[in-house]
A and B are shown apart, each in its own frame.
Chain A
């Protein structure tokens, strides 16, 4: 098994390296550079001053050189400073956004699990009844509804019917729990429904698979009540795919909340990346993309390795 783990880890490192190249190339594809954005269209700066400023920032050197310099810094843990805000390091920028995105993702996940597991199990146990159909349609609906639409509608009707809007500025939970909850409740619910819809489907199908097994028949034949059978035997086995999917979606959750963050004005990781892209802030985009990618690769690695623990067949493939 250690052989498998080592091979998997080496593969992960290679992918990380490839990712850094992809990210770097992609980001430097952006036309215009941060100086143009910084100085705005209005400023008439002489070309030599521009060139001088570029030299200072180091964005005039050939790409390969820039890449190797960047890589060297990364390996030492230095992701550089934002080109737009030279006093903020990339790490600190994303660091300030992390708790927000984390809170949103966590709340959303909890809501998703609270919905998905009970509903998925019930739906599977009552297969092909009206309850099952309603659940399946609701789940597919949940996957089809755009999050930003739900968000827009909830803000709109919140304003129209209840004269309520969530607080505009983010405050941490420690500072003001009430305001914090109000800020997060809508986006977390929306996120939770969306993720929950997908999780419900997976739970349902994996519970169905587990129910087909012989040990369920044995347990029932022994005289165990249905409820006990489900909780004691079926649930444990059917939760494995659910956990896998959860693990794999961690990175998507962290990096992919751009839309919700933009809609609800939450200065999280997604919004920071969006602003970085819009302002051509190379270091921010590179750092962010690489960090998010690294998280994805790392979580995939953990999920794969845990699979090796759980399923001996995989170790010998």
Chain B
């Protein structure tokens, strides 16, 4: 081979290598795809959640009718081409109600979980790291809050400040707070004994900086797992409250509200009315629970491997 050929083949190889790098996915993407393949349930649930979020976000585009539009002439019809899931006792399209109900449930569930988990985690982290008297006092207060049965707490708050979506979210957050706080506090306690925390302290880091820069990243994995399972519980709680009539006020569509007791005689005429909302709730909560499970499986060995 002449030197010219060598140079040519070398540069060809270089170009070929660069092209290869474009085609082969990067390390991180490949890892994600591998995880996705290994955990089919988790992947399915992730897809379901994406679909749900999209439904909630694009509800006006997906729902064929205004869910609050009553039309008594077509009440209690079964599935038809015009009304995929039929109509309810006031002639409202059930499919549209389900679609818009996704908004209510997801909004309530996700927001309440975010608030409750963040607040609870902050308190738990600070309490666990501070230790001593402060820790004890904060923990006792959380215990008191947690000793109250959740339903009672929700009932009182919702009835006290009125049943609106935001009030329900606040009430749920207060209910979620103590549980998240307790778990994160446990984590913070174990992280506190790590050498790098001691090192940071020796160097002169302020406590808050230690908390956010060192404790938080280690605790983050647990927060994510708790959060995703809590969303499921929050959605169930919102549905339960709406079922009791203490949830979002009508006419806002809500899956739980579609199942209220007062509608029972209509269910006898049109059983599908009772099926769809419940299915929607079940599938949603199932997806979030499975996601939480998968997250825990994925994140746990990585935590242990550190």
**Measuring CB to CB, which residues of chain A are less than 8 angstroms from any residue of chain B?**
11, 14-16, 18-19, 21-23, 26-27, 29-31, 137, 140-141, 143-146, 148-150, 152-153, 155-157, 159-160, 251-252, 254-256, 258-259, 262-263, 270, 273-274, 277-278, 285, 288-289, 292-294, 296-297, 300
Contact = CB atoms under 8 A, between A and B. Distances in A.
Most buried by B among A148, A256, A292, A297: A148
Interface stretch (B9-17, B120-128, B138-146, B194-202): B138-146
Nearest to B239: A146
Interface stretch (B57-65, B86-94, B203-211, B264-272): B264-272
A2 B75 CA distance: 68
Contact of B149 (A26, A141, A148, A251): A251
Contacts of B277: 149
Contacts of A152: 259, 261, 264, 267, 274, 278
Q: Interface of chain B, helix or strand or loop or mixed?
A: helix
B240 interface: yes
Interface stretch (B21-29, B95-103, B154-162, B214-222): B154-162
B264 A156 contact: yes
Nearest to A12: B143
- 7 A-B pairs closest in CB distance: A255-B149, A149-B278, A18-B144, A144-B285, A144-B286, A293-B147, A29-B160
A22 B145 contact: yes
A299 to B, nearest CB: 10
Main secondary structure of the interface of A (DSSP, over half): helix
Given A140-B289, A145-B282, A152-B274, 7 more contacts: A15-B147, A146-B278, A149-B278, A277-B152, A293-B144, A294-B147, A296-B147
Contacts of A22: 144-145, 148
B156 A277 contact: yes
A289 B293 contact: no
Contact of B152 (A149, A150, A255): A255
Nearest to A29: B160
Interface in B167-210: none
A289 B160 contact: no
B261 A263 contact: yes
A274 to B, nearest CB: 6
26 contacts: A11-B136, A11-B143, A15-B143, A18-B140, A18-B144, A22-B144, A30-B159, A144-B285, A145-B278, A146-B278, A146-B285, A152-B261, A152-B264, A153-B274, A156-B264, A156-B271, A160-B271, A252-B149, A255-B149, A256-B149, A262-B261, A270-B151, A277-B152, A277-B155, A277-B159, A296-B148
A18 B283 CA distance: 39
B59 to A, nearest CB: 22
Interface of B: 41, 136, 140-141, 143-153, 155-157, 159-161, 232, 236, 239-240, 243-244, 256, 259, 261, 264, 267-268, 271, 274-275, 277-278, 281-283, 285-286, 289-290, 293
Nearest to A15: B143
Given A31-B160, A141-B286, A146 B240 contact: yes
A292 B149 CA distance: 7
Given A143-B289, A149-B278, A19 B147 contact: yes
B259 A149 contact: yes
Given A140-B286, A144-B285, A262 B244 contact: yes
Nearest to B233: A143
A91 B109 CA distance: 36
B264 A149 contact: no
Which of B149, B153, B261, B282 has its CB near the most chain A CB atoms (within 10 A)?
B149
A141 B156 contact: no
B140 A146 contact: no
A159 B243 CA distance: 20
A30 B156 contact: yes
Contacts of B268: 156, 159-160
Contacts of B151: 255-256, 258-259, 270, 273
B157 A26 contact: yes
Contacts of B259: 146, 148-149, 152
A278 B140 CA distance: 30
Which residue, B41, B136, B236, has most C-beta atoms of chain A within 10 A? Answer: B236
A153 B278 contact: yes
A253 to B, nearest CB: 10
Given A22-B144, A26-B160, A152-B267, A273 B152 contact: yes
Contacts of B149: 251-252, 254-256, 289, 292-293, 296
Contact of A19 (B144, B160, B271, B282): B144
A152 B268 CA distance: 11
Contacts of B286: 140-141, 144
